[in-house]
Structure 1
């Protein structure tokens, strides 16, 4: 669902808290005083009904099944602190997400079934009992707010002249004092105020139409809010989210992979598709083609928890799409852009590459080859097998057991072929191939899982062929139960690479830091 940029002026107050003994203290709020939002704007904002009308707060959707809000919304006595127990909330909590006008239908309603609090600040993650698939979550801001920076707050709290507003409101605020866990905010207009009911409301920056979460509301003076007209102070204090974005990701990642039926994962391809790079922090993304023809992109995480290597799922194609005709898929780059794309061998014999892949799909398809010959390409993988530091090479295993490498490949097509092996019945037993960096050689290594469970690394493959082999799994090993594998940086953005496998029972795991000595432990992702 698209969102629209707000108008520059603000009309009503935002989040709510209560003033005790001259100090700001947290208490569940009702709505942001400011301008009523246009339909569909800031759809990631959620209204929380806690205890059947006993309390009201605001939250933000950060993943399809997770909200972030203020812990004080769930505390036994919010005026005395924000401590809240992990687990199911004590009071029934219903979240309404993406409904600008609460008197209308639309958006999604879900129950909050689990709370995961922070102990060092007024923040809690709230798990929903179902996924929200038609609303884009707010992006996590990774940079600290700067004094004087403009941010927006959207909330369902009490307004200037409404006790319980029916519409989402928003307002613009300026960043004041930035501390270790909090950030002070001041309204940019007289009617920009955080009111009761806005506790937990998201503060976010607008970066060219991309909204990045800065924090969630914790406390406010509520000056000018309905019922608090005599109070002149209008500042607010938010709990920072930028410095714990990794924690937010790691919590929301817990339900990410288990939601899918991984027995239906037909093709896996890894790469730096969504902005990660070899020199950055983010781990590799995973592109999945499912048996029904749908496709998903799992975005690599920025945090370092090895159990949760992905931070979000983006639906790329629905069931029955053209992806049902994909016969072999690999991640790699045949451009000099620095980011990876997806290369596909189709049932028709067409070989094509999508030079750009992001959360919205695959883009800029280039045909590399189109002939009956390419129907014989049983397995393909892209990797840096030659000295070309800007583009990958394509290695192909044909149906007769021969192998070829296409170097100097770009978006104009495959041209320079080097035959690495002749037809060989033994090589027809190769079940999967993938490219990676395991041995520290100047060129990429090839890993092959054979039908009998034997798994082999061929170090430093180049146009001259193969230069030795290392067995990392013996014949008749459990790896004979693997169905699909890919190589990538999943444990951390480092080398040597990891091998991720989807097993025949639908479980998924990866082996971190595979090298010439073999595998070193297993991280179970699903199952």
Structure 2
């Protein structure tokens, strides 16, 4: 309970006009007639109090973002879904994770910013503070099929309660679908309906025990709902699809950090677990960026438990030089994140004069345990073109290094933490083709026992070499054809950015300064492009 207005007062603001007249699109859907939800279930469901005048429902899709129906914030929700971006006109409070509204569980936060979708009844609402301890729901990547059963949750009316205190849930069947919406009806038509109190409520499927958000409640006939004319018998509803808005949702989530940094000036990106965590845990990977003024920034990856958004924590590891001064980082030619065992990940840096340096650990406070692997102005390392650290041998906790050379050779140095540069093996003899490898990065795209190698070629082609190991390459997978727009990629890095199980997301900084994220790259290639910076 919010305690400042009786719940009845703000529920009476929910619109029901148009139902009796048979206008489906004029009657916002607002809640679910169905069984009460057990404490703690579907905790990502959010209850919204909008100025004490309206009640809506939403879904937590990020520790600091709730997605809901845009019409919740429209001046005339029965006539329009148009909402201006920015702060909501009415003070809006979100309660997340409180199954029983008469209790005190869950968390409460003001909504301080609205980001409406351009042409759909959807809005992203930013919370004043991130939610902790509640796992956001994942936006589905696959559309709902006709006949599929989805679950809908909501806080509003039931068939015999004007202002129920508990979250309710029911199953609905997809009857039809188009590019923007779903027509749904109760799986048990006599006992399921969407009623007043839950505009924006989530419709989701569960896959391997994890919910996937498919759509949001938009409009409903509301038969069987408390206060609706008994002559109304129609229970069907219309939900707005969000499965095909995944890129837009992710763009909004990542916007705070990517909108505030000069990404056109990013020259290098290294990924790893520099601030703790590991693959398969709750942490996403961190990212280290070198800018063209030699400043070095560490962006901490989000954690499902700490309530941080994507890369929301930022640390300066090296400041740009003062006027008339120089910085060692001005001379970094390449660097790559690496795991050397025993703590946070580190870096391998190749400098312009051929020196090669290992930093065994990097964290929020800087670079630690520096070791010179190759001296400056040596005869060998000035001829290296690209370097990439990855798990290419049996050393699960310590990475190996793949190097491309200016004569087209490709070599593997195994377990630098133990062997230094001594254990080198040639994977590819000198050749013309590998001279054209413009960028390389290690990733885990195919699920092989060892890491894959992503190569961006100078002609715009991109390839994945699955499961590279000491025996060499084992086939290749074309990700982009020759003369593709990837010819304009200037920085390519792989990491676990959008998920935390495998380093199979790709970050690309383009020559224009734009930045794209490709989540979930696999043996079939890149599936979705999220434009983080346009």
Question: What interval of TM-score do these two structures reach, taking the shorter chain for normalisation?
Answer: 0.5 to 0.7
Cα distance change, pair 287–295 in 1 and its aligned pair in 2 (3 A): farther
Counterpart in 1 of 2:85?
A: 86
Counterpart in 1 of 2:255?
A: 254
CA RMSD of aligned residues (A): 4.9
Give the Cα–Cα distance (whole angstroms) in 1 for the partners of residues 399 and 343 of structure 2: 22
Counterpart in 2 of 1:127?
A: 126
Tell me the alpha carbon deviations over residues 392-434 of structure 1, each in whole angstroms, 9 at most, x when there is no partner.
972499xxxxxxx864669x999981399xxxxxxxxxxxxxx
Offset at 1:289? 1.5
Q: Are 1:98 and 1:107, in contact at CA under 8 Å, matched by a contact in 2? A: yes
1:140 pairs with 2:145: no
Offset at 1:161? 1.2
Give the Cα–Cα distance (whole angstroms) in 1 for the partners of residues 89 and 228 of structure 2: 29
Give the Cα–Cα distance (whole angstroms) in 2 for the partners of residues 35 and 16 of structure 1: 23
Provide TM-score, normalisation by structure 1. 0.56
> What does 1:21-60 align with in structure 2 at a 5 Å threshold?
21-27=21-27, 30-52=30-52, 54-60=53-59
Give the Cα–Cα distance (whole angstroms) in 1 for the partners of residues 60 and 134 of structure 2: 9
Q: Are 1:377 and 1:396, in contact at CA under 8 Å, matched by a contact in 2? A: no
1:440 pairs with 2:440: no
1:289 pairs with 2:271: no
1:232 pairs with 2:238: no
Counterpart in 1 of 2:400?
A: 394
Give the Cα–Cα distance (whole angstroms) in 2 for the partners of residues 194 and 96 of structure 1: 20
Counterpart in 1 of 2:509?
A: 512
Give the Cα–Cα distance (whole angstroms) in 2 for the partners of residues 106 and 385 of structure 1: 43
Counterpart in 1 of 2:303?
A: 314
Provide TM-score, normalisation by structure 2. 0.55
Tell me the alpha carbon deviations over residues 298-335 of structure 1, each in whole angstroms, 9 at most, x when there is no partner.
599xxxxxxxxx998225899xxxxxxxxxx966xxxx
> What does 1:349-364 align with in structure 2 at a 5 Å threshold?
none
Give the Cα–Cα distance (whole angstroms) in 1 for the partners of residues 373 and 259 of structure 2: 28
Q: Are 2:133 and 2:305, in contact at CA under 8 Å, matched by a contact in 1? A: no
Counterpart in 1 of 2:339?
A: 343
Offset at 1:177? 1.1
Give the Cα–Cα distance (whole angstroms) in 2 for the partners of residues 438 and 84 of structure 1: 52
Give the Cα–Cα distance (whole angstroms) in 2 for the partners of residues 287 and 183 of structure 1: 41
Where 1:80 maps in the other structure, the secondary structure is: coil
Gaps of 5+ in 1: 1-14, 261-267, 271-285, 301-309, 319-328, 332-341, 352-374, 398-404, 421-436, 447-458, 464-491, 501-509, 514-519
Where 1:244 maps in the other structure, the secondary structure is: helix
Offset at 1:522? 4.5
Q: How many correspondences in the alignment?
A: 352
Offset at 1:16? 8.1
Where 2:275 maps in the other structure, the secondary structure is: strand
Tell me the alpha carbon deviations over residues 317-367 of structure 1, each in whole angstroms, 9 at most, x when there is no partner.
99xxxxxxxxxx966xxxxxxxxxx7234379x99xxxxxxxxxxxxxxxx
Give the Cα–Cα distance (whole angstroms) in 1 for the partners of residues 197 and 336 of structure 2: 49
Counterpart in 2 of 1:427?
A: none
Counterpart in 2 of 1:192?
A: 192
Gaps of 5+ in 2: 1-13, 262-268, 288-298, 308-334, 347-368, 375-386, 404-410, 427-432, 443-457, 459-468, 470-484, 494-506, 516-531
Where 1:253 maps in the other structure, the secondary structure is: helix
> What does 1:56-75 align with in structure 2 at a 5 Å threshold?
56-75=55-74
Equivalent of residue 417 in structure 1, options 417, 423, 440: 423
